[in-house]
Structure 1
């Protein structure tokens, strides 16, 4: 039974695609995290510059 299961390749492509999709999803999510952090820093810097200019 185990030998038959071990050498059975049916469904292997679906599993491989699932692994590829999960890895790409993790890369996209982490990339979005870095991008959102950079955008937040830009907006915070702009906000502080506007506040400084208006309070002079």
Structure 2
């Protein structure tokens, strides 16, 4: 059983398709993290702006 799993990963490493899939997954993960951080920063900034407007009214 362990030898089949080891053989699967060896074949995956030597295939170009597996490497490409991993690269795309890493890029997608980096993009998701960037979007998460940007949305969080914009949300915090927007919240502060609306709070300031609310207290001015």
Tell me if TM exceeds 0.5: yes
Q: Scaled by the length of structure 2, what TM-score is found?
A: 0.72
Structure (1 or 2) with the greater helix fraction = 2
* Unpaired stretches in structure 2, ≥5 consecutive residues: none
Q: Give the total of aligned pairs.
A: 48
The structure with the larger Rg is 1
Q: Which runs of 4+ in 1 moved over 3 A?
A: none
Q: Scaled by the length of structure 1, what TM-score is found?
A: 0.73
Which structure's relative contact order is higher, taking Cα pairs within 8 Å and 6+ residues apart?
Answer: 2
